Structure 1
């Protein structure tokens, strides 16, 4: 399959939106009856439940009919299939810890990668019923309306978002020092617990920038597409554009990138 027109990606995106919303409806219903005895431990502070796994299985099955030759890169690894050209990158429930504790920020994140290029991204925030999406060369959208990143010109006029690692605390001292400096320099720092939502909120201007390390591809792939198509920039802590496999990411409105990088690089070199 070759994507030759924006219309084809548009049509595929519309199908992915439906799939993400259906998965979100399942997650929303399960939250009403969820109990802590259903929690499984994958690793230190790394939680999962049948909700994550069932949602992923549903998404994988539905996407198989959308692009049959595509492979999958998924958080819960419910399928083992690698595509030669196309791969879906899926987090069925980004913000599992929030979900388990009843905190209303979690999302479904689905991206499509063509070779090394991300060409489609959908993030569905379940509680607010907000669907953020974009595809290659398109505007970015929130529930059908075009969105853009903010116009904030400096850190001092910005609201920032970050995340905290739940394991591998080797960089924690540097990260806390960076957090302290930024906290003193901006309107405020927020930690929502879903990187996909952080990126979506950066795309629509609620946040002016988001940074985090120790991230996985499924945490950020869809959000990267949306931020870039909304006019923002996404780079690693060195300023390079490879972010899926560096496990570190800075997303900005495109206006405070260099200022943010300068601050980050004081602590991460």
Structure 2
């Protein structure tokens, strides 16, 4: 990563170092709980789950951040009521914060519950609404993805770059199956049905933050999903941008913390993917 003098600091403390420390400590604790959680609750839908591990990891991260930066604001998934309206309201309540930590303690809770080893800790720091630090940690593979605004993005200490595919037909894409059964999931499935024949293949492994990290590291050419939240996307969006990729909403507007329907690509296939998504959305209407 960048030299210490280039890492964002406040009061002599590195934002990035704190984010990495929080992600690593939470991730290692989560890993010890795999197959060992004792509570399971349904939030917004039968596909939207939470365990005591999600809550415990978020509390751990919140406390660690608060120790270093007690005056910073904090937006964590488990501190927000379920559903898109509550998510939008929670983001609006902190959008004017100078420094805002945005955290998904276990991105991929359903995977975690079933013992499917694909989940992550996602931590971002926004300054005046713009993400300046993004960390995604995969504890099962001990892979740490780190980005600093203007400094590049790294995995295992190596600088990342997006893939080179220039056309959808040559691309491996990723998407998800949203927890909202009324709007987001049907639309995402409609898009999937339209896009799958146009690409090399599509993967869906249940963690938006890791999907974004995989776009940044060139493992997939692009990712799209409907109905996500700031804590799903903020860290990953910076990873993609700092790796040379592009992140927008599905109309092509630049990513910001309020984006819920996202497209992230290597940049080369972005316009073609957006066109395919928009055609799928309007087909049959």
**TM norm structure 1:** 0.92
1:34 aligns with 2:37: yes
Partner of residue 113, structure 1 = 126
- 1:140-176 deviations in Å (ceiling 9; x for gaps): 0002111110011111111000011112423555433
Aligned length: 262
Structure 1 alignment gaps of length 5 or more: none
Residue 23 of structure 1 is matched in structure 2 by 26
Instruction: Measure, in 2, the Cα distance between the counterparts of 1:76 and 1:172.
Output: 21
The residue number in structure 2 matching 1:137 is 150
Q: Which runs of 4+ in 1 moved over 6 A?
A: none
Runs (5+) with no aligned partner, structure 2: 81-89
SS of aligned partner of 2:236: helix
Residue 262 of structure 2 is matched in structure 1 by: 249
Per the alignment, residue 126 of structure 1 pairs with 139
Conserved in 1, the CA contact under 8 Å of 2:185 and 2:226?
Answer: no
Structure 1 CA distance, aligned partners of 2:150 and 2:69?
Answer: 20
Residue equivalent to 2:59: 57
User: What is the match of residue 213 of structure 1?
Assistant: 226
Contact kept in structure 2, 1:6 and 1:137, CA below 8 Å: no
Could you tell me the TM-score, scaled by structure 2's length? 0.87
* Aligned match of 1:68: 70
Q: 1-side partners of 2:179 and 2:18: how far apart? A: 33
Does 1:146 pair with 2:159? Answer: yes
Tell me by how many angstroms 1:84 deviates: 2.9
**Residue in 1 that maps onto 2:199:** 186
SS in 1 for 2:281: coil
Please list the CA deviations of residues 71-111 of structure 1 after superposition, one character each: whole Å capped at 9, or x if unmatched: 01110018x99573011000000000000001010000000
Quote how far apart the aligned CAs of 1:180 are.
Answer: 1.8
**For residues 172 and 61 of structure 1, what CA distance do their matches in structure 2 show?**
34
Residue number in structure 2 paired with 1:88:
101
- The whole-number CA distance in structure 1 between the counterparts of 2:35 and 2:190 is 39
- 1:156–1:186 CA contact under 8 A, matched in 2: yes
Q: Any idea what SS the aligned residue of 1:33 has?
A: coil
Equivalent residue number for residue 7 of structure 1: 7
**In the aligned structure 1, how far is the partner of 2:59 from the partner of 2:268?**
39
CA–CA distance in 2 between the matches of 1:109 and 1:84? Answer: 19
**More divergent stretch after superposition (56-65 vs 240-249):** 240-249
Q: 2:34 touches 2:115 (CA, 8 Å); kept in 1?
A: yes
Matched-pair contact (CA < 8 Å) for 1:175–1:267: no
Give the conservation status (yes or no) of the 8 Å contact 1:90–1:109.
yes
CA 1:135–1:34 in 2, change beyond 3 Å: closer, same or farther?
same
Measured after TM superposition, the shift of residue 257 of structure 1 is 0.5
CA distance in 1 between partners of 2:188 and 2:18 (Å): 39
Change (3 A) 1:180 1:32: closer
Matched with 2:83 is none
Name the CA shift for 1:171/1:68 in 2 (closer, same or farther; >3 Å): closer
